[in-house]
């Protein structure tokens, strides 16, 4: 997820761009850049961009005068190409006539890049965005005699949008059409600002509020031409149309959260899109599962005789889910270890060992150290991370990126569900390379993952009030227990972690079968127990465990599969989950527990996004 800002009007563009980027920095902050048309007689296209936070760009601009009334800005969250000056946006075409900023993923950029390279185009960066710039340049023709100004660029953008696949929001500026900005979107947000004597564009309203509250949200396959006098919107064939026009009544803080009261709730609701983005482009041209980066011979996968997964906290719980998928599909033994313990127990590692290191930030010291130890022992390391170019990914032999966008809340939600999905892709890649599944079987399983965003959307639409009510019921409990079996165990652990880390309630997850070996002594009258009892080969066992705790006075909140009529006979409350393959259920069962923890923390007046004693990234041992 990246941040885009644009301005055309009577005022100085640069301060508008920089202030806009500052409000959009939560959308991405691994690099940033601006492009301004300077000069009036023969406008010059100036671009300044830097890796790092916005401060690095501000420093670079301190020595440069960029005076002009038309410009674009961008703050990046990398999905293709590491965060470097070269990969930062804006990108320009070969002749330096036009600049583009982009949020999203172009799925068919590789084939387009190959065509352009064959035409002699040379690229400086690894990004899909630079390919867009070159494609627009190739489509741009000098306007026909008598054509209205500002038509060549927009015609080129319409042609490009008819060609490319993927989800994107783009904006362009061209020194040959110095009075316009051109923008378009498909699947990624872009809002336009109608101001006095100026027009603006932004990834979301946070970038516009300082200048206008009269905004127009573009819808898919719409294109806009912005001038100081106003904004014209058309479809991809040039027919006039309009976006969704409304007046913003949010303040800046609410706008950065896009109207949600907390980043955590916003990120819970971003999960369908984050999962969809994480699954984009996971099949290569031959219909085979492909990872983002593989720096070892995939044939070595067939000699792997042991897999270790190392991670911390929520990422560790994602590893526990992955164990079942990898063992089931790839037929190789998996051990999941707490990273801070792994290297101190002197694990048996050989060149035939595969170590999977999971880290949202890619900067967790415990996980980086565990991965480094594994590589020292000549094991191969695969990193699963949400941050392109993070330390962990640079030191791995292969990488799969979750494309969840920045996760601001300390409590991890969308990173967790996208980690499970990315690990599912890894499990299918291992099965494909070890030939324990045919390629078409891998594609069939991948299709099941691709159906998850739809299931998640429907799940997020219901249960909200029920979960808020249940959260109030557990908010004064001395102790909340979470139980499950098989894939329900990591979700019991994760549900307990979510609740304890943001509401400060004492919560603990157990394998349901373990209750009779001690924990059941904790059960007293009215004590809340959350049971993951979805359809699967251990369903009956979990129902028995529910009866055991209920018989001792527990108040049971059960997660059950839609259509299940047995669980409700034994539970006080039932939250229903769409029916999906047993190995994929955790992506859905965790979400009501995220929402439950969120409402409990709100009810108790906690600092939901930044709970006490915790940091988003733990860079100490």
Distances (CA, A) of 279 to 229, 419, 498: 41, 11, 25
Residue 387 CA to chain centroid, in angstroms? 10
Q: Going along 144-271, which residue ranges are E strands?
A: 166-174, 181-186, 191-195, 198-202, 214-217, 222-227, 230-235, 240-241, 244-247
CB of 310 to ligand AGP, least distance (A): 10
User: Among residue numbers 518 through 537, which ones bind ligand AGP (CB under 6 A)?
Assistant: none
Number of H helices, E strands in the chain: 19, 26
CB of 367 to ligand AGP, least distance (A): 5
H/E run at residue 31: strand 31-38
Q: Taking contact as CB under 6 A, which single stretch among the options 84-92, 235-243, 265-273, 359-367 is the one that binds ligand AGP? A: 359-367
412 sits near ligand AGP (criterion: CB under 6 A):
yes
Q: Which is nearer to ligand AGP, 195 or 411 (CB)?
A: 411
Q: Taking contact as CB under 6 A, which single stretch among the options 233-241, 278-286, 313-321, 448-456 is the one that binds ligand AGP? A: 313-321
The burial of 114, by beta-carbon neighbours within 10 Å (0-12 exposed, 13-18 middle, 19 or more buried), is given as exposed
CB of 414 to ligand AGP, least distance (A): 11
Q: Which of 2, 323, 380, 414 is catalytic?
A: 2
C-alpha–C-alpha distance, residues 59 and 314, integer Å: 37
CB of 242 to ligand AGP, least distance (A): 42
Q: What is the DSSP letter of 147?
A: P
Indicate which single residue of 315, 487, 503, 534 sits in contact with ligand AGP (rule: CB under 6 A). Answer: 315
CB of 459 to ligand AGP, least distance (A): 20
Q: Taking contact as CB under 6 A, which single stretch among the options 353-361, 431-439, 526-534, 599-607 is the one that binds ligand AGP? A: 353-361
Q: Catalytic: 442?
A: no
Q: Catalytic: 312?
A: no
Q: For residue 408, give the 3-state DSSP assignment.
A: coil
Q: Taking contact as CB under 6 A, which single stretch among the options 20-28, 114-122, 306-314, 340-348 is the one that binds ligand AGP? A: 306-314
Q: At what angle do helices 439-450 and 414-433 cross, to 10 degrees?
A: 170
Q: Which is nearer to ligand AGP, 291 or 411 (CB)?
A: 411
Q: Which of 306, 500, 541, 616 is catalytic?
A: 616
Q: Which residue in the shown chain puts its C-beta closest to ligand AGP? A: 313
Site string for ligand AGP, 455-484 (x = CB under 6 A): ------------------------------
Q: What is the DSSP letter of 590?
A: H
Residue with tokens 């009258």: 525
Q: Taking contact as CB under 6 A, which single stretch among the options 31-39, 160-168, 409-417, 466-474 is the one that binds ligand AGP? A: 409-417
User: Among residue numbers 579 through 618, which ones bind ligand AGP (CB under 6 A)?
Assistant: 617-618
Indicate which single residue of 361, 445, 487, 503 sits in contact with ligand AGP (rule: CB under 6 A). Answer: 361
The burial of 378, by beta-carbon neighbours within 10 Å (0-12 exposed, 13-18 middle, 19 or more buried), is given as exposed
C-alpha–C-alpha distance, residues 148 and 21, integer Å: 32
202 sits near ligand AGP (criterion: CB under 6 A):
no
H/E run at residue 560: strand 555-561
Indicate which single residue of 314, 402, 561, 594 sits in contact with ligand AGP (rule: CB under 6 A). Answer: 314
Q: Taking contact as CB under 6 A, which single stretch among the options 175-183, 263-271, 358-366, 533-541 is the one that binds ligand AGP? A: 358-366
Sheet of 214-217, strand order: 44-51, 31-38, 70-76, 3-9, 198-202, 191-195, 214-217, 244-247
268 sits near ligand AGP (criterion: CB under 6 A):
no
3-state helix, strand, coil in the chain (%, to 5): 40, 25, 35
Residue with tokens 């058309």: 234
User: Among residue numbers 15 through 74, which ones bind ligand AGP (CB under 6 A)?
Assistant: none
503 sits near ligand AGP (criterion: CB under 6 A):
no
545 sits near ligand AGP (criterion: CB under 6 A):
no
411 sits near ligand AGP (criterion: CB under 6 A):
yes
Identify which of 265, 370, 373, 354 has the alpha carbon closest to the alpha carbon of residue 315: 370
CB 318 within 8 A of CB 311: yes
360 sits near ligand AGP (criterion: CB under 6 A):
yes
CB of 513 to ligand AGP, least distance (A): 25
CB of 434 to ligand AGP, least distance (A): 27
Cα–Cα–Cα angle for 203, 269, 25, rounded to 5 degrees = 35
CB 589 within 8 A of CB 542: no
Which residues are part of the catalytic machinery? 2, 616
Interface positions with ligand AGP (CB under 6 A)? 312-315, 359-361, 364, 367, 410-412, 501, 617-618
């Amino acid at each position: 997820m990246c941040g885009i800002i644009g301005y055309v009007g009577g005022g100085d563009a640069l301060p508008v761009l920089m202030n806009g980027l500052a409000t959009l920095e939560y959308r991405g902050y691994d690099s940033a850049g601006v492009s301004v048309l300077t000069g009036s007689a023969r406008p010059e296209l100036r671009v300044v961009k830097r890796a790092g936070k916005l401060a690095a760009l501000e420093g670079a601009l301190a020595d440069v005068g960029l005076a002009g009334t038309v410009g674009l800005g961008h703050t990046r969250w990398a999905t293709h190409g590491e965060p470097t000056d070269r990969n930062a946006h804006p990108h320009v075409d070969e002749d330096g006539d036009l600049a583009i900023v982009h949020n999203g993923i172009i799925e068919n950029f590789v084939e387009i890049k190959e065509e352009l390279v064959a035409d002699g185009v040379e690229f400086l960066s690894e990004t899909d965005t630079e390919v867009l710039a070159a494609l627009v340049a190739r489509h741009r023709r000098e306007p026909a005699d008598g054509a209205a100004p500002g038509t060549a660029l927009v015609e080129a953008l319409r042609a490009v949008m008819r060609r490319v696949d993927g989800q994107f929001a783009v904006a362009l500026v061209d020194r040959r059409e110095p009075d316009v900005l051109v923008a378009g979107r498909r699947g990624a947000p872009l809002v336009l600002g109608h101001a006095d004597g100026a027009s603006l564009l932004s990834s979301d309203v946070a970038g516009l509020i300082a200048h206008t509250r009269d905004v127009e949200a573009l819808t898919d396959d719409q294109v806009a031409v912005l001038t100081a006098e106003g904004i014209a919107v058309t479809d991809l064939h040039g027919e006039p149309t309009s976006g969704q026009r409304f007046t913003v009544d949010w303040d800046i803080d609410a706008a950065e959260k896009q109207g949600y009261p907390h980043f955590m709730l916003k990120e819970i609701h971003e999960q369908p899109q984050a999962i969809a983005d994480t699954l984009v482009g996971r099949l290569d041209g031959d219909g085979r599962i492909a990872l983002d980066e593989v720096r070892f011979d995939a044939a070595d996968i067939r000699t792997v005789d042991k897999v270790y997964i190392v991670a911390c906290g929520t990422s560790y719980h994602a590893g526990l889910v992955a164990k079942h998928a990898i063992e089931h599909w790839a037929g190789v033994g998996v051990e999941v270890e707490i990273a801070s313990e792994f290297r101190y127990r002197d694990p048996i590692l050989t060149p035939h060992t595969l170590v999977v290191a999971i880290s949202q930030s890619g900067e967790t010291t415990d996980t980086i150290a565990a991965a480094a130890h594994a590589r020292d022992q000549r094991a191969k390391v695969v990193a699963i991370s949400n941050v392109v170019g993070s330390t962990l990914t640079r030191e791995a032999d292969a990488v799969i990126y979750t494309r969840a966008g920045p996760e601001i809340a300390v409590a991890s939600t969308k990173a967790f569900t996208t980690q499970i999905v990315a690990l599912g892709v890894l499990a299918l890649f291992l099965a494909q390379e070890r030939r324990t599944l045919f390629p078409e079987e891998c594609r069939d399983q991948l299709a099941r993952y691709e159906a998850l965003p739809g299931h998640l959307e429907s799940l997020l639409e219901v249960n909200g009030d029920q979960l808020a009510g249940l959260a109030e019921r557990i908010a004064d409990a001395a102790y909340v227990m979470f139980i499950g079996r098989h894939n329900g165990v990591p979700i019991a652990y994760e549900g307990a972690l979510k609740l304890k880390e943001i509401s400060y309630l004492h919560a603990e997850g157990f394998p349901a079968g373990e209750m009779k070996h001690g924990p059941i002594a904790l059960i007293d009258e009215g004590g809340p127990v959350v049971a993951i009892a979805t359809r699967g080969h251990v369903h009956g066992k979990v129902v028995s465990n529910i009866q055991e705790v209920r018989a001792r006075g527990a108040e049971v909140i059960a997660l059950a599969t839609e259509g299940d009529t047995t669980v409700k006979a034994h539970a006080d409350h039932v939250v229903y989950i769409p029916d999906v393959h047993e190995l994929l259920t955790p992506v859905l069962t965790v979400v009501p527990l995220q929402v439950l923890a969120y409402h409990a923390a709100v009810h108790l007046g906690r600092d939901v996004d930044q709970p006490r004693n915790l940091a988003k990234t733990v860079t100490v041992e």
